[in-house]
Amino acid sequence: GESVGLHLPTLSVQEGDNSIINCAYSNSASDYFIWYKQESGKGPQFIIDIRSNMDKRQGQRVTVLLNKTVKHLSLQIAATQPGDSAVYFCAEADTGGFKTIFGAGTRLFVKA
Partner 1 sequence: SAVISQKPSRDICQRGTSLTIQCQVDSQVTMMFWYRQQPGQSLTLIATANQGSEATYESGFVIDKFPISRPNLTFSTLTVSNMSPEDSSIYLCSVEGTGGNYYGYTFGSGTRLTVV
Q: Which residues bind partner 1 (CB under 8 A)?
A: 32, 34, 36, 41-46, 49, 89, 97-105
What 3 state SS string does 6-58 have? CCCCEEEEECCCCEEEEEEECCCCCCEEEEEEECCCCCCEEEEEEECCCCEEE
CB closer to partner 1 out of 25 and 89: 89
Q: How far is the CB of 67 from partner 1 (least distance, A)?
A: 20
Tell how far CA 2 is from the center of its chain: 17
CB closer to partner 1 out of 57 and 61: 57
Q: How far is the CB of 62 from partner 1 (least distance, A)?
A: 13
